[in-house]
Amino acid sequence: MARRSKPEKASSEAVADRLRRMKWWTDARFGMFVHYGLYSQLGRHEWVMNRERIPVREYEKLARTFNPVPGCPREWARLARKAGMKYMVLTTKHCEGFCLWDSSQTDYNAVKRGPHRDIVAEHVAACREFGLKCGFYYSMMDWHHPDGHRCATDEKARRRFCDYTTALVRELMSKYGKIDILWYDAPLPLDTPERWESVKRNAMVRRLQPDIIISDRSGVPEDFGTPEEHITAAAAGRSWEACMTFNGSWGWRPTPAADWLPARKVVTMLKDVTAGQGNLLLNIGPRPDGSVPPEAVERLAAVGKWTSRYGEAIYGQVDRPAGLEAWSGCGTWTRKGKDCYFWVYNWPGETLAIGGLHSKVKSVRLMPDGRTLRFKQERRRLLVRGLPRRCPDKAVEIGMLKINFVGRPVQVLSWGIVDWC
Ligand code: GLC
């Protein structure tokens, strides 16, 4: 459902306010997406109702058997924390229309049916307990509500459906204390933000939650872009967050081990978003009972080992590594102010070389302990010596050097051989 978003023209106060609201988020870099709903019981993707054209009355029966194990949001939050994630976004209502909270607008919800529990409240409590910022995903599209489809062609239905949407969003924004992110999705079937009345609704959201951060999927750009299943940096100055599945589906789907992203790939995604000053929202699709698939648990534990040692490179205010080459043989760069981080993907042994450096190097340190390493620079080539023979990182085999330059770093690696001589 990705919608292209153009940067808004905003007043300087609006820009300053946005920077203030976004500070924790741009520092956080890494969050957990949780897709959990009735569809989780079928294990055939969260769009199963639509893809298999399951009639509403038949699909609704899934509400009776929906029975998450007590405390499952705590399990998600504990795992997120362990992996080094700083926030967690739950699907409060996906396109299927089932609300995970006690809505006064519909009894198609987890308190009136199924588990008779407010899963949204449990999610909020779990976030607070584990020190995570708390986000609500909300699908504007609704396959269950009678007006969810006909609103596109019937003005009275559109009126009712917009009011329904506003009422649900108002509940989410007022029942649970401070909420940090509103992650809208799927602005369908209405074709414009005007017909959705998004600007007005989002103004209400901001009145209720002055610090909230809003995604770009209500048809207006709001605070951040949401590239989906690819990591593509937005123009400098625009915040963005890549959302990625773990195994090709957002909702739970049992898949062969080969479909699951290896921990090393997740860390590489962290490098990619960091190099573009973006965030990574990595999804887990809990199983029918709300527990996390063991494949995700295992991989996130390894990611957590890595982030706990090398997190300095990713968290906080980062810069784009302008002036440095994207690929230098055994590794690649990210940057944070004067500190340049060289992520070593193929550990070369005791000596490491980086070519094409036109600027003078001040110091080279081995992460994570920061031990100073000997180096020399000759013919634009940096040679670092005295490295351990094997990569110091055992979790995902991605090691790191922290390199400081005298002045602005410049690296040029042409295809030719002229600058070798
Ligand atoms: C896509 C999927 C939707 C999912 C979303 C997350 O739009 O269709 O089901 O929730 O991505 O970004």
Give the CA-trace dihedral at 168, 169, 171, 177, to 10 degrees: 160
Res. 419: pLDDT tops 70? no
Ligand 1 centre distance from Cα of residue 112 (Å): 26
Beta carbons of 284 and 260 less than 8 angstroms apart: no
pLDDT the model gives residue 14: 80
Q: Maximum distance among all alpha carbons in the chain?
A: 76
Tell how far the Cα of 6 is from the centroid of ligand 1, in angstroms. 20
Cβ of 46 below 6 Å from ligand 1: yes
Residue % of the chain over a pLDDT of 90: 93
Question: What pLDDT, in 10s, does the model give residues 150-194?
Answer: 999 999 999 999 999 999 999 999 999 999 999 999 999 999 999
Q: Which of 172, 179, 219 is nearest to 198 (CA)?
A: 219
Query: pTM for this structure?
Result: 0.96
Asked if residue 185 has its Cβ within 6 Å of ligand 1, the reply is yes
Q: Relative to the CA of 45, which ligand 1 atom is closest? A: 9
User: What is the 179 CA–ligand 1 centroid distance (Å)?
Assistant: 21
pLDDT (average), residues 228-249:
97
* Mean pLDDT for all residues in the chain: 95
From ligand 1's centre to the CA of 245, what distance in Å?
9
Ligand 1 neighbourhood includes 50 CB (under 6 angstroms): no
Residue 23, pLDDT above cutoff 90 = yes
- CB 250 near ligand 1, within 6 Å: yes
Q: Going by CA atoms, what residue is nearest to atom 2 of ligand 1?
A: 1
Burial class (CB in 10 A: 0-12, 13-18, 19+), 150: middle
CA–CA gap between residue 377 and residue 405 (Å, rounded): 12
- Tell me which of 229, 250, 281 to substitute to probe ligand 1's pocket, judged by most ligand atoms within 8 Å of the beta carbon: 250
Is the minimum distance from the CB of 216 to ligand 1 under 6 angstroms? Answer: no
pLDDT digits (tens, 9 = 90+) for 275-316: 999 999 999 999 999 999 999 999 999 999 999 999 999 999
Checking if the pLDDT of 401 tops 70, the result is yes
Residue 123 has pLDDT above 70, yes or no: yes
User: Closest Cα to atom 7, ligand 1: which residue?
Assistant: 1
**Confidence label for 2 from pLDDT (cuts 50, 70 and 90):** very low
* DSSP 8-state symbol, 118: -
**Segment 355-365, tens digit of pLDDT:** 999 999 999 99
CA atoms within 13 A on the CB side of 89: 28
